[in-house]
Amino acid sequence: MVEHKRIGILTSGGDCAGLNPAIRAVVYHAVGTYNWEVLGICQATYGLMERPPQIVKLEIEKIDPLLMSGGTILGTTNKGDPFAFPISDGTLRDRSEEIIDGYHLLGLDALIGIGGDGSLAILRKLAQQGNLNLIGIPKTIDNDVNYTELSIGFDTAVKIATEALDRLHFTAASHSRIIILEVMGRDAGHIALNAGIAGGADVILIPEIPYKIDNICNYIRKRQNLGKNYSLIVVAEAVRTEVGETVTQDDLSGKSRFGGIGHYLADKVYLCTGAETRVTVLGHIQRGGVPSATDRLVASAFGVAAVDLIAEEKYDQMVTWQNLQVVSVPIAEAIAKYRAVDFNDTLLRTARSMGICLGD
C-alpha cells in the first residue's frame, strides 16, 4: 500500500512538443492509480519563488486535451538561474532558499522536474541543498541529455525539419538552387543528422565533425557534373566557421545565441559553385506544434515511470529511454556531460555509406 502523497510538477528550460502529454501521464497515474494530489508549478522555479507559490491543481477531468497540444500548460523559462538571479537593480541574488521554502510551504512530498541538462542540474542543486525529493524527466529537442536515447521533443523536431527538407527539394529543383537549412540543436548535431538522412539532404554538417569548404564544393560540383541541378545542405546551428569561430547573433538584451552559420556557408558555397544559394532558418518552428506519436509515447512512458519512482521513494533519479525500455539513472550521472553525436553512431555510418557529404 503506497501512502498518500502530494507531488509537484514543473517544466523548465526551452519548451518543446510532448511536455503536456508528460504532465497528462503523471496526472493519470498519480491521481488515477495512487489517488495522490498533483500540483502544477507555474513558470518553472519562478512559481516556487512567488508568495503564495504559483500553482494549479491538476485534475484528471481537465487533462485529456493535453495529449495533442504543444508547449506547456505550466509555462516555462530558460532564464534566471536561481542561484544567481538577476534583480531589477542589475545585481544577482541567490534565491534558492525561496524556492526550497516554496516546496515546503506547499507540503510537497516530491517534485517532478521536466527539463534538459541545464535545468536538471539546477533542480538537483536545489534538491541537494533543501532536501527535496526530486525525479527528473528529460526533455529537449537537442536530444543531448546523457543516458537516454530519446528526450521529449526530439522526435517532433526531427519530423518538422524532415518535412522542411521535403518541401525544399521541390523549390530547390525548380530553380536549380542550393538551399541550406539551418536547424537547432545547440552543441549536438542530432537534429541535423536525423533530419538530414530522413529528408534526403546531400550535405549534413554537425558541430561534432570539422569540415572543409572545399570538400563541400567539390561534392556539389560533382553532383552538378552528373546533371543534378540542385543540392540541399543541412547545418546544425552550432557548426563553426571553417576556421573554428562560433557564429552567434546578439540581441538588444545583450544575450548571444547561435545563428548565422547558414548564411556564412551560403556565401562560401556560392563563390565556389556559382549556383544560386538560399538559406532557410527553421528556428522555433522545431519546438512548436502538435507532438508526434513517438513524443506522446515517450512522454507518457516517462510520466508513468516518474510517478512509480516516487511510489518507491527512489529519488534523485532521471527516467531514461534505453533499448525501448524506460529505466532510471542517477540525475548526477545524466548531467555530468552532454550527449554529442558519437563517432560510432549508426546514423553517421549510414550517412557516409549512402554517399552523403559530412564535410570532412
**Closest listed residue to residue 78, CA positions, set 52, 49, 117:** 117
Minimum distance from residue 144 beta carbon to ligand F6P (Å): 8
Minimum distance from residue 304 beta carbon to ligand F6P (Å): 25
Residue least distant from ligand F6P (Cβ): 184
The amino acid at residue 173 is A
Minimum distance from residue 11 beta carbon to ligand F6P (Å): 13
**Residues 286, 70 contacting (CB under 8 angstroms):** no
d(CA 4, CA 1): 9
**Closest listed residue to residue 39, CA positions, set 24, 59, 22:** 59
Phi-psi sector, 136: left (phi>0), alpha (psi -120 to 50), beta: beta
DSSP state of 249: E
Minimum distance from residue 142 beta carbon to ligand F6P (Å): 5
**Closest listed residue to residue 185, CA positions, set 257, 137, 120:** 257
Beta carbon nearer to ligand F6P, 47 or 116: 116
Catalytic site positions: 142
Minimum distance from residue 327 beta carbon to ligand F6P (Å): 24
For residue 164, give the C-alpha cell: 522542411
Whether the bond between 21 and the residue before it is cis, its omega within 30 degrees of 0, is no
**Residues 82, 92 contacting (CB under 8 angstroms):** no
Residue 76 three-state SS: coil
What residues contact 109, with CB distance under 8 A and at least 6 apart?
5, 6, 7, 133, 310
Give contact residues for ligand F6P (rule: CB under 6 A): 14, 78, 116, 140-142, 184-186, 237, 257-258, 287
227 vs 175, 234, 254, 348, 355, CA distance in Å? 14, 21, 47, 26, 16
